[in-house]
Amino acid sequence: MGYWTPVHDSHSPIQSFNMRTKIIAGNWKMNGDREDALSLATEIMGIVADEYMGESEIILFPPFVHIQGVARLVENTRIKVGAQDCSAHKQGAYTGEVAASMLKSVGANYVLIGHSERRSYFNESSADLSAKIHQALDAGLKVIYCVGETLAQRQSGDHFEIIQSQLSECLYHFSADLMCHVVIAYEPVWAIGTGATATTDQAQEMHSFIRKSISNHFGADVAETIRILYGGSCNENNAQSLFSMADIDGGLIGGASLKSRSFVNILKCS
């Protein structure tokens, strides 16, 4: 499958990609104790205040136990806070689970759902992820929904079909109105934590495919306003070229988000 290349003219809504506010999100994963989390957030907050004059939305995703502390620290700044996951259940006897409403109550604005590590390590199904998205939206959280293919799936040529199924099974039963609360993150699994990165052409091709799929189901207006992030080993060296692509609206940053200087340098590329 080749690129989806939209026609640019004075009446085409595709020009709105310049108006989509980019997102730079830092996924801290399971790293750092309370002191580490507050120190990192403080450093990022200080550097952003001193050096960043851009418009991109900044979101930090600390571990569950640090959300409230980080949220209080960055309160009244431009930095938002999110959770790395939420329960598929609203409440009840689910030991160890954290409900979306609980996350909202301690300062979370966003939640990551469907990250490749959750799919792989915890065998989360499309039904699980769909239920989580429902709970998150119902609680008033915005969702960053992750999609991506493995190396084997890409090498076999099935990567477009995999992404299409991940989109359709988890998002396409929601209304178009709810999609304004959803961000999509494309994370090629083969490029997460490996040092490998999709080329700008590979990333743009998949982002364009995702936008076309959204357009086919929800319409052009939704497709041209939804933000699609790249999430595969994005770093200071490749961020500029990735973020310059028409359909890439920022990044879901992993390892580089654990270093304040690296994270803000990536932010500056947006």
Query: What backbone torsions phi and psi does residue 6 show, to the nearest 5 degrees?
Result: -70, 155
> Quick check: 148 and 184 in contact, CB under 8 A?
no
- For residue 190, name the pLDDT band (cuts at 50, 70, 90): confident
Supply the Cα-derived Rg of the chain in whole angstroms: 18
Decide if pLDDT at 28 tops 60. Answer: yes
Round to whole Å and give the CA distance between 250 and 253. Answer: 9
In order of 26, 62, 174, the CA distances from 264 in angstroms are 10, 16, 34
13 within domain boundaries: no
117, 124, 187, 224: the catalytic one is: 187
Total of domains in the chain: 1
Decide if pLDDT at 16 tops 80. Answer: no
Q: Beta-strand (E) ranges in 33-166?
A: 57-61, 79-83, 110-113, 142-147
User: 15-24, 58-67, 104-113, 115-124: which has the minimum mean pLDDT?
Assistant: 15-24
Check residue 6 and give its pLDDT: 32
Decide if pLDDT at 106 tops 50. Answer: yes
Round to whole Å and give the CA distance between 145 and 111. Answer: 8
- For residue 4, name the pLDDT band (cuts at 50, 70, 90): very low
> Quick check: 228 and 11 in contact, CB under 8 A?
no
Decide if pLDDT at 118 tops 80. Answer: yes
Span 194-233, pLDDT tens digits: 766 688 999 999 999 999 999 999 999 999 999 999 998 8
Query: What backbone torsions phi and psi does residue 254 show, to the nearest 5 degrees?
Result: -95, -105
159 within domain boundaries: yes
222 within domain boundaries: yes
9 within domain boundaries: no
Counting every residue, how long is the chain?
270
113: nearest Cα among 161, 163, 170: 170
Q: The domain containing residue 166 runs over which residues?
A: 19-268
Q: What is the mean pLDDT of residues 151-177?
A: 94
In order of 68, 144, 145, 190, the CA distances from 86 in angstroms are 15, 12, 12, 25
Decide if pLDDT at 99 tops 80. Answer: yes
Percent of the chain with pLDDT over 70: 91
Decide if pLDDT at 103 tops 90. Answer: yes
Q: Name the strand (E) or helix (H) holding 225.
A: helix 220-225
Check residue 152 and give its pLDDT: 87
Q: Name the strand (E) or helix (H) holding 23.
A: strand 23-27
> Quick check: 247 and 208 in contact, CB under 8 A?
yes
14 within domain boundaries: no
93 within domain boundaries: yes
Decide if pLDDT at 1 tops 70. Answer: no
Decide if pLDDT at 7 tops 80. Answer: no
Residue with tokens 């995702």: 210
- For residue 252, name the pLDDT band (cuts at 50, 70, 90): very high
The rounded mean pLDDT for the chain is 91
Q: What is the mean pLDDT of residues 160-173?
A: 97
70 within domain boundaries: yes
6 within domain boundaries: no
Q: What CATH number does residue 118 fall under?
A: 3.20.20.70
Q: Reply yes or no on whether 187 is catalytic.
A: yes
Decide if pLDDT at 245 tops 60. Answer: yes
In order of 38, 91, 94, the CA distances from 251 in angstroms are 22, 32, 33
Check residue 192 and give its pLDDT: 74
In order of 56, 57, 229, 257, the CA distances from 53 in angstroms are 9, 12, 21, 19
Q: What is the mean pLDDT of residues 119-126?
A: 95
Span 72-98, pLDDT tens digits: 999 999 999 999 999 999 999 999 999
115, 134, 159, 207: the catalytic one is: 115
Tokens found for residue 251: 């990044």
